[in-house]
Structure 1
Amino acid sequence: MKEPIVESPPERPFRLQSDLPKWGYRWLLLGMWWLLVGLAASPVGNKVWNPGKPYHDSLLVLFMAPALWWVLKRHRAFGQRIAQSVDVWLLLVFLAWSSVSSLWANYGHIGDNLFVAVYVLLFVLTWAAVAAGNPQWFRHLLFWGAVGLALSALGAEVTFPWRILHTNMWQEQGRLVSFGSLDNPNLAGFAYGAAIVWLAQTTVRGRWMHALQIVSLLMLAIFVVTTYSRAAWLAVLAAQICMLLTARHGHVKLRALVILAIAALAIGLGGWHYVEQRGMSYRPQIFQQAWDLIRAHPWHGLGMGSHYEIQIGDLNWSHSHNAFTHNAIMLGLPGGLLWVAMWLIVGWRGWLFRHIGTGRCLLALWVFSTVAFQFDAPELMQKPSVEWLMGWLPLAISMGLAWRVQNIRHRRRQEVRA
């Protein structure tokens, strides 16, 4: 007689408070918060340094160490989630292909690129686990991250006229920049624009929390407007239009409507003339040269971390101002298509879960990033940067929602059996 097949019980859901000691999970949450806020709050090095070097060094202790500890401690649970998730497998293949492409890259070291690939994987898995196991803590983390960014925006606005920047070009043009890794108006506009998008979808309780949310949104909006980053403007507006059309909650629609009304007022008072004066900023010509680079190396690309140049007249750019074409240039069509597949899953999952707060945040961030990626912020395979808020954070939220549904289904099956 055959023995009945007994399925091994699935690993218990992720819970920071039961997986780690109190000091351990508080340390990890601090590192996750610093990963968001430290982009603008970390000290700036001299011209030889990467402006974000102190920030990256601090994250090794504040985020990477406790995150690695958690993943190793619950390796069976993480392994089980990976085995059951299509998007995690796509991510693993994407990171593996990126790392292999380092072998023929014209710049960089394979060891550094492997470190970046592991860093990205650790970030996505850790943030997904918090979103799945501690959704309320995750929402609070995003809320206080946006508040921290709003405070840095206020500091940048107040001190901008007297600051000594790496380049005085931004001050001459009157384009506001922030601190740390955000000493560029486009990058700063994207970071603070992403914070606007997720903060506008956050539901808070209590009068003073509502007041803090509104004040933070106002400070972030003023900053994004004064960066004169048209891509950030367009991305924020597209996300708000999406929420106005798809959100089911009146307060979410109201916030989106207010942001759109303020934008319409700004456009009417002169914003349109600024957009018209700057024109297309050579984007069609840049896209054509990017496509030529893709056709020159369609299957293997230039390799992760490679340097290339796009030149139009006397102007030179070190990237294609488009995340999708940049991925294809670096990683070839295989890498580009893998990224597109992951990104479509993120958007589809945001649409499915648009009825809950975290799902709304995901959908709005996906729309924001999809629009912004058409114009700038192309480099995803590097240490924590603005691009992580736009690319890897939505992917982590998407995975977290999927894992949370798996936990709920498993609990219901147990209840039915009982």
Structure 2
Amino acid sequence: MQLSYLNYSKQRVFDFICLWLLPVGLLLLLSDLYFLPGRSLHHKLYYGLFSIPTLIALVLRPKELRDILREPLIAGFLLFAAWAMVSLIWSNTEESILGLFKPPLHLFMLFAGGTLLVKYRSDSLQPVIFGAAVIALVATLYNLYMFYPNHDPQLRMIGAGAFDNPLLSSHAFGFFCIYWLTLGMTCKRPPALFVAIPAFVIMFVALIATGSRTPLVAIVMAMVWLSFICWNRRSLALISMLAIGSVVVAALFWDMLVGRGSSFRFELWQMALDLIAQNPWIGHGYDAHLSLTLSEHPEYPLSEPHNFFLGVLFYVGLLGLLPWLFMQAWGLYSSWRHRVQPLFILASAWLVYGIGAGLTEGGGIISRPKEHWYLLWIPLALIAALNIGLRLKTLRDRPVHRLSDAAFNTLASHAQVIEEDGLGPKVLRLQNGNFLKLFRARRCYTSGSFNPYSERFAVNSERLQAMGIPAPKILDLFQLRNGSTAVLYQPLPGQTLRQVMQSMGSPAMRQALVERFGKFLAILHDKGVYFRSLHLGNVLLMDDGEFALIDIADMHLYPSALRIALRQRNLRHMQRYPEDRRWLFEEQLPELLQGYATLAPAPAVTSLRNQVMALAQTNAP
């Protein structure tokens, strides 16, 4: 009994981490620098709400490491981090060895936590990123409001919150500038485009206000990348905007672009190259002391070469550079391969921006959470998590095609209407026997706008099939001009369980079928399948005798077996239908409980019985 309770508690803790803590931790990681008073609190929030919870989750369920370690990008990071730790042998660092092991561990937790988030709560990813972008947008508006009324041409804007440097501030502004630009390139609904364009302009103005030039180059690189990775009519507009913007920026901000010259970066790079030449293969060691003194400013020695590439070469040499370059190359390659998924487009655009911004900035190869994470580690961790999510079927992996009004009318005119409402048909049986299911457009502030129900239907179907539970075979996804979406699928052969029960005359056959259904229900709950619309009309008895699920758009898959409250809620929905209640919870209740008890834990069976008895007493005259 104690072992069962302990296992149940572990499942609940794991679920809470994956479903709630990690989304909150990611939201704050992306946005809290904009409003926190300092980086120290930023570190603590990341450790407490993301890194440490991820570590706890991996301790509770070590098998999750199997999927994480199979990802080539994560393997490249582990190789890079391992070589950096080995290089401590010849490093002249003055820091404690134990303290230097923490940053790579926290970075690995970023990769692992992102994977758990995409695997078990992928529907939260886009809302979380959007929420962080809105927080950044509001904070940026405040920064601009405070900066421009007393603007001095010699001043460079430093963001409020934890920002203390114009260049570091520009990384954060540019990060979300790329987000709004990517949203404008990938969104399929006009309201999103009307929000994305002014938001991009605001973030770009803030970027200009920092007076930093390298992020402008990085923005251009990201624009070029976006133009090709999501090639459409908007790509031409983006290229045109890029050309016009270049002229405007050069005309209005030419003094800012050339007034500070090279900022001594060429001298810094030459000094760094001279030091790299002393140990080109293995470098000087992770966290080795680096001091670059400019002859013009001998009183201010610099500890970074202001170039990520040179920083990697200095600390870990060519041997460490190879996995570092592999991570970026693999990230861009996999993003290009899977560009039908908008999140890959966004992550790769962030990575290209980071590569561009890293040309003249930084040098520390593994750092604690700060602005540099925007440039490299957050995009790489997101790409790695998305790669794993695609392999595990938790993300859409097929394109969404536009269905013109004429094409839809042609389909509808030759199709049989299976289901409709006051707005028109909802399910059509086409001439070839396939089904076209329509989902009405949702309001922009609902979850359906971030994760359309047609895509949920497709993802849920593929995930169920991967778990060994039959579901409709997805053929295509469509976007209609009125904002509705549709999924084309191949129906399964068979009848709904309600139809079968209605046609059965023998009580013994009905009892046997209900017992089998009870076992199937226990299998669903044990696998974490929470099907909110579960009733006998959405369960199919196929011709081969197996059960299947249909109409699965509002289904959720939990990381662990369903807790008792969710099981009760699931069954409560079935009790709303008179025929289902009579067959399952009145006439064949013993058989249902017997089948359910074959796999479900005893407390769940007891709770089901008590729930049915309570309902019977409520309905009693």
Question: What range is the shorter-chain TM-score in?
Answer: 0.7 to 0.9
Could you report, residue by residue, the CA deviation over 1:146-173 in whole angstroms, capped at 9, with x for unpaired residues? 211122222222234799xxxxxx9783
TM-score, reference length from structure 1 = 0.82
Residue 73, structure 1, aligned to residue 60, structure 2: yes
The Cα shift of 1:257 comes to 4.8
CA contact (8 A) 2:115 2:389 kept: no
Tell me which protein shows more helix as a share of its residues: 1
Tell me which of 56, 81, 95 is aligned to 1:108. 95
Equivalent in the alignment of 2:45: 58
Q: More strand per residue: 1 or 2?
A: 2
CA distance in 2, matches of 1:244, 1:227: 26
Report the equivalent of 1:351.
Answer: 336
- The aligned counterpart of 2:279 is 297
Identity fraction in percent: 21
1:67-117 CA-to-partner distances (Å, cap 9, x unmatched) read: 22333333202x211342222222112112222333433232211111111
Pick aligned residue for 1:267 from 218, 243, 250: 250
Question: How far apart are the structure 1 equivalents of 2:233 and 2:194?
Answer: 18
State whether structure 2 residue 234 is matched by structure 1 residue 240.
no
**Of 81-90 and 226-235, the range deviating more from structure 2:** 81-90
Task: Decide whether the 8 Å contact of 1:239 with 1:365 is kept in 2.
Answer: yes
CA distance in 2, matches of 1:266, 1:383: 34
Paired position in structure 1 for 2:206:
223
Pair 1:183-2:164 in alignment: yes
> Where does residue 196 of structure 1 map in the other structure?
177
Q: Which amino acid aligns with 1:85?
A: E
* Maintained 8 Å contact 2:228/2:235: no
Give the AA of the match of 1:88: I
Task: State whether residues 243 and 256 of structure 1, in contact with CA within 8 Å, keep that contact through their aligned partners in structure 2.
Answer: no
Between the aligned partners of 1:109 and 1:158, the Cα distance in structure 2 is 44
Mapped partners of 1:162, 1:115: distance in 2: 43
Shift of 1:208: 6.1
Contact kept? 1:308, 1:318, Cα under 8 Å = yes
Distance in structure 1 (CA, Å) of the matches to 2:24 and 2:241 = 32
**Pairing partner for 1:407 from 392, 400, 403:** 392
Give the aligned partner of residue 146 of structure 2. 159
Aligned-residue offset at 1:322? 0.6
- Equivalent of 1:173, from 150, 154, 163? 154
Q: Which of 56, 78, 98 lines up with 2:84 in the alignment?
A: 98
The Cα shift of 1:275 comes to 1.5
Q: Residues 205 and 116 from structure 1, CA distance in 2 versus in 1: closer, same or farther, beyond 3 angstroms?
A: same
Q: Superposition RMSD on alpha carbons, in Å? A: 3.0
Matched AA of 1:155:
Y
Q: In 1, Cα distance between the equivalents of 2:52 and 2:152?
A: 38
Aligned to 1:340: 325
Do the aligned partners of residues 253 and 177 (structure 1) sit closer, same or farther apart at CA in structure 2, a change above 3 Å counting? farther
**Does structure 1 retain, via aligned residues, the 8 Å contact 2:22–2:113?**
no
The AA in structure 1 aligned to 2:135 is G
SS in 1 for 2:54: helix
> For 2:116 and 2:292, how far apart are their aligned partners in 1?
40
1:173 is paired with a residue whose SS is: coil
Displacement of 1:236 in angstroms is: 0.8
Residues 89 and 214 (structure 1 numbering): CA distance in 2 closer, same or farther, change over 3 Å? same
Q: Which amino acid aligns with 2:33?
A: L
Match of 1:383 in 2: 368
Cα distance in 2, alignment partners of residues 209 and 287 from structure 1: 43
Q: CA deviation at 1:310?
A: 1.6
- 1:151-206 per-position Cα deviation (integer Å, ceiling 9, x unaligned): 2222222234799xxxxxx9783110113442111111111101111232235577
8 A Cα contact 1:243 1:253, kept in partner: no
Which SS does the other structure have where 1:311 is aligned?
strand
User: Does 2:1 align with 1:20?
Assistant: no
Instruction: Specify the alignment match of 2:310 in structure 1.
Output: 325
Q: Describe the superposition over 1:353-410 as per-residue Cα deviations: whole angstroms up to 9, x where unpaired.
A: 2232112112211221111111103324111011112111121122122212211399
Distance 2:100 2:271 in 1: 26
In structure 2, stretches of 5+ residues that fail to align are 1-10, 398-461, 474-545, 547-621
Task: Measure the CA separation in 1 of the matches of 2:239 and 2:230.
Answer: 10
The structure with the larger Rg is 2
- 1:18 and 1:211 map into 2 onto residues whose CA distance is 41
Q: 25, 32, 52: which one pairs with 2:26?
A: 32
Change (3 A) 1:161 1:83: closer
Query: What is the letter of the counterpart of residue 99 of structure 1?
Result: M
CA distance in 2, matches of 1:267, 1:310: 32
Deviation track 1:210-248 (CA, whole Å, cap 9, x = no partner) reads 554344323211110111110011101211122123323
Equivalences, count: 386
- Normalising by the residue count of structure 2, what TM-score does the alignment of the two structures yield? 0.57
